Every structure is written in structure tokens, then in C-alpha cells.
Amino acid sequence: MNQSDKVIISCAVTGAIHTPSMTPYLPITPDEIAASAIAAAEAGAAILHLHARNPETGQPDQTVEAFAGFLPRIKQATDAVINITTGGSPYMTVAERAKPAAHWQPEVASLNMGSMNFGFFPLLSKYKDFKYDWERAHLEGSRDLVFRNSFQDIEYVLETCYGNDTRFEFECYDISHLYNLAHFADRGLVKPPFFVQSVFGLLGGIGTHPEDVMHMKRTADRLFGKDFRWSVLGAGANQFRIATQAVAMGANIRVGLEDSIWIARGQLAESNAAQVLRAKAIIEGLGLSVATPEEAREMLSLKGGDRVNF
Ligand code: KMH
Ligand code: ZN
């Protein structure tokens, strides 16, 4: 693993898992997404991972137009690296999911490195009433949901975005996803430095035990050596415990309301910025420092904030 004393904080601003009834603080409209992303950058996030939502209902919206309401504003207000999802919602096809990144040509796009069960139906036990009809179906439907990322799907995203010099946040939810990434590296379809985003605690992927974190790092070290920059995200209540363990081991970290709506046990995070500030405190408490967007660009060999299509 390539590491430095500078730690990249990514912030995943809204995502496609949590629904409006779970927390009043989830950014939904373009104005809310823009404001929350800008505040997260001001708090120290060097990379902003962005999804879009229907402003009326909060449903995930992966249309190209849905991103137009906030991309230019975020770019104008911050120097942060914009990372557009190709994950969209796990219910969407890869062709739908890849459209925004292909069109807007961001410096970074996420790329999910394997198919998996993607279960967020356990959240149903916590919420009884929903503002919108789609929310319950969204959660219930994940009981029978496969988040499809076949080798052909991954090739499709690579072919669709690579010509734009977009580089990838390789989302790895389990050990096999690291081997899938190594497969594409062996074929020369992805070039180092690899930005490996290890996802812990999403039902259907690897767990959240410290041994799980060690095993993910050990395997990535063996497969990629100095060719990768490790980042971690802990889903839900595990977010900061996993971040703390991994930063101490040389990782970068991802926080944000996409991955967890909490700031502490039983306490809702009132903003993305609050989670970023908590991450910053962990980093600085270890005697490390938060990477600037320019430092992140250097570490990840990114094309530069002006070489985008927004
Ligand atoms: N919500 C994360 C666990 C993507 O956008 O490509 C997964 C994610 C997928 O961020
Ligand atoms: Zn995402």
C-alpha cells in the first residue's frame, strides 16, 4: 500500500440507500446537495462522492440532467475532487448507472467491483412510518436484490468512461472484489495508482470485525503492493470505529450520509460536514493531517478539476 501522512477524506453526500424518512438531514434537492457538499469540502473533504435524487420524493435519480443542478455550483464553490457514482441505485441497469459519469466526465467515478446481495431490508425493523410509498418497497425489495456488476458490466463502465481520463474509486465489498480488480489490472484495462475503497458492513459484503479490515488490507497489499491507495468506509454505526482502525494502519477514509446517518450511537448526524470534522479529529489525533484536494490529485494521478464537462 502506498501511504503518506496526508489522509484523503472522501465525503459521500447522499447516496441511494437511506431514505428521507430515516433522517431529516439527508440532502435531497439540488440546493441541499450543493450546500451540503460545499460545507463538507470546507470542513476538509478532498473528494465529494455524489448521487442525485428526485427533489420531490427523494428517490435516487441517475439521469444526466439530475446532476446538472449541483455539479457546476460545487465546482465553482470548492476545489474538491468530484466523484460521480456509477453505482446509482442497485436496482438500476449498468447502462443507466454509467450515463452521468460518461456525460459529465468527472475526475473520479465509482466502479463497483463485483455482483453481490445488497440487503438493506433490515432497516425496516427500525422504521414503521414512511413519508413516501417508494421507501418501504425500496427497503423490502432488497430482500431479493442482486447488485449486478458482472465482468461485462465492469468492462462497460471502463469503456464508457476511460476515454475521458476519468479515474476510479474501486468499491470493494469483499475479498473477491480485490481479485476482480487484479484481473482487470492483469488485462491492462485499469492503470495504477488504484484508489481502492473497501466497504465494510453492508449486508451482502464483508463484515466489520477488525480481522475483516486486516484481511482486506493484507490481501490488497499482496495483490497491488505500492500500486494502490487504500480507503475505507464503514457502513452505518461502524463508520468511525472502522475509520479509526484503518487510518492508524495508513488508510484514507470515506464518511458521509450515504454510508451512515449517525454521528454517534443513537445520535443522528446533522450534516455531512459534522462527520467530516469527526474524521478530521481522528486523523489529527493520530498526528496525521488531512490531504487537500490538490494533494489528493497528486496521490491519485487525477486529470485536474478543469478537465471535466461541467
Ligand atoms: N453506498 C456505498 C456502500 C456507488 O455509488 O458506486 C456504495 C457506493 C456505490 O457508493
Ligand atoms: Zn455511492
- Whole-number Å distance, alpha carbon 18 to ligand 2 midpoint, is 11
| pLDDT at residue 2, as a whole number | 86
Confidence of residue 96 (pLDDT cuts 50, 70, 90): very high
pLDDT tens digits, one per residue of 230-252: 999 999 999 999 999 999 999 99
**Over the chain, what is the mean pLDDT?**
97
Mean pLDDT (whole number) for 88-104 = 98
Residue 116 backbone phi and psi in degrees, to 5:
-170, 160
- Which residue, judged by its Cα, is nearest atom 2 of ligand 1? 259
The torsion region of residue 256 among left (phi > 0), alpha (psi -120 to 50) and beta comes to: left
Q: Which of 160, 68, 63, 72 is nearest to 111 (CA)?
A: 160
| pLDDT at residue 188, as a whole number | 96
Mean pLDDT (whole number) for 6-11 = 98
Confidence of residue 4 (pLDDT cuts 50, 70, 90): confident
The ligand with the least distance to the CA atom of 87 is 1
- What domains are defined for the chain? 3-307 (3.20.20.70)
Question: Is 87 a residue whose pLDDT tops 90?
Answer: yes
Mean pLDDT (whole number) for 97-123 = 97
Residues with CB under 5 A from ligand 2 (ion): 15, 85, 87
| pLDDT at residue 150, as a whole number | 98
Q: Provide residues with CB under 6 Å of ligand 1.
A: 12, 15, 17, 85-87, 110, 112, 171, 199, 202, 235, 258-259
Compute the Cα dihedral for 225, 289, 37, 256 and give only its sign. positive
| pLDDT at residue 298, as a whole number | 98
Report the residue among 86, 111, 171 best suited for mutation to probe ligand 1: largest number of ligand atoms under 8 A from its CB. 171
pLDDT tens digits, one per residue of 264-288: 999 999 999 999 999 999 999 999 9
Question: Is 162 a residue whose pLDDT tops 90?
Answer: no
First to last CA, the chain: 33
Question: Is 174 a residue whose pLDDT tops 90?
Answer: yes
Report the residue among 22, 89, 110, 172 best suited for mutation to probe ligand 1: largest number of ligand atoms under 8 A from its CB. 110
What is residue 70's three-state secondary structure?
coil
Question: Is 38 a residue whose pLDDT tops 90?
Answer: yes
Checking 149-153 for CB contacts under 8 A at 24+ apart, the result is 149/94, 149/112, 149/113, 149/114, 149/115, 149/116, 150/115, 151/180, 151/183, 153/94
Q: Strand 116-117 to strand 146-147: parallel, antiparallel, or no bridges (unpaired)?
A: antiparallel
Confidence of residue 1 (pLDDT cuts 50, 70, 90): confident
The torsion region of residue 5 among left (phi > 0), alpha (psi -120 to 50) and beta comes to: alpha
- Whole-number Å distance, alpha carbon 49 to ligand 2 midpoint, is 6
Query: Does this model's pTM top 0.85?
Result: yes
Cell numbers that stand for 177 in this block: 472484489
In contact, 50 and 83? CB cutoff 8 Å:
yes
- Whole-number Å distance, alpha carbon 14 to ligand 1 midpoint, is 10
| pLDDT at residue 3, as a whole number | 81
**Cα 291 from Cα 297, distance rounded (Å):** 10
Residue type, 188: G
* Percent of the chain at pLDDT exceeding 70: 100
- Whole-number Å distance, alpha carbon 72 to ligand 2 midpoint, is 19
| pLDDT at residue 269, as a whole number | 98
- Which residue, judged by its Cα, is nearest atom 6 of ligand 1? 87
* Percent of the chain at pLDDT exceeding 90: 97
**Cα 2 from Cα 126, distance rounded (Å):** 40
- Whole-number Å distance, alpha carbon 85 to ligand 2 midpoint, is 5
